[in-house]
Structure 1
Amino acid sequence: MRHHPGMTAPGTVEEYLAALPAEARAVLEQVRAAVLRGMPGATETVRYGMPAAVLGTRYGLHYAAWKKHAALYPVPVFDGDLEAEVAPLRSGKDAVHLRYGRPVPGDLVERIASAVAALRRDDR
Structure 2
Amino acid sequence: MLTTEKYANVAEYMAGLPEMQQNVAQIMRDLLADAAPDAKEVLSYNMPAIKQNGKVLVYFAATQKHLGFYPTPAPIVAFEAQLKDFQTSKGTIQIPYDQPLPVKLIREIVAFRVKEVSGE
Gaps of 5+ in 2: none
Are residues 62 and 107 of structure 1, via their aligned partners in 2, closer, same or farther at CA, if it must alter by over 3 Å?
same
8 A Cα contact 1:30 1:106, kept in partner: no
Q: 1:116 Cα deviation (Å)? A: 1.1
Pick 1 or 2: higher relative contact order, CA cutoff 8 A, min separation 6: 1
Q: Secondary structure at the match of 2:99?
A: coil
Q: 1:78 Cα deviation (Å)? A: 4.6
Aligned counterpart for 1:50 among listed residues 47, 50, 53: 47
The residue type equivalent to 1:17 in the other structure is M
The match for 1:122 is 119
The residue type equivalent to 2:2 in the other structure is R
Structure 1 segments (4+ residues) deviating >4 Å: none
In the alignment, structure 1 residue 85 sits paired with structure 2 residue 82: yes
How many residue pairs match? The answer is 118
8 A Cα contact 1:52 1:63, kept in partner: yes
Rounded Cα–Cα distance in structure 1 between residues aligned with 2:23 and 2:52 = 25
The residue type equivalent to 1:115 in the other structure is F
In the alignment, structure 1 residue 110 sits paired with structure 2 residue 107: yes
- 1:31-46 aligned within 5 A: 31-46=28-43
The match for 1:65 is 62
Structure-1-length-normalised TM-score: 0.84
The match for 2:15 is 18
Gaps of 5+ in 1: none
Q: Secondary structure at the match of 1:24?
A: helix
Identity of aligned residues (%): 25
Rounded Cα–Cα distance in structure 2 between residues aligned with 1:109 and 1:102 = 14
